[in-house]
Amino acid sequence: MKQLVSTKFVRTLRTASQKGANIDAHTLENDYDDFVKIVFAENADTIDKSAFRQMLVYTRVELLGLTQVSEKKRRYLPSKSHCGY
């Protein structure tokens, strides 16, 4: 079930979310393309579509969690107006 959340795409997003690191657009695009290929390959190889759906739901929950971490960090960062930008 953790196959999709252990992909380089999700690891890159996790690092950016937790550490506030910037992601190179080219790197993110390549990682995303690889992620999509894995999703389609899993779909083609999986006989049990219910298990595949559960894997997708699990991945979605993990990605939503990264979004929430990122939003929480953003709330505690000073706004640009306070930084003199």
CA distance 36 to 22: 22
Structure confidence at residue 15 (pLDDT): 85
The string of pLDDT tens digits covering residues 4-60 is: 888 999 988 888 887 777 888 888 899 999 999 999 998 898 889 999 999 999 999
Please say if the pLDDT value at position 61 is more than 80: yes
More confident residue, 82 or 31: 31
The string of DSSP letters for the chain reads --TTTTSHHHHHHHHHHHH-----HHHHHHHHHHHHHHHHHHHHH-S-HHHHHHHHHHHHHHHHHHHHHHHHHHHHSPPHHHHT-
Take residue 34 and report the two structure tokens written for it: 């690889």
Quote the pTM value.
Answer: 0.70
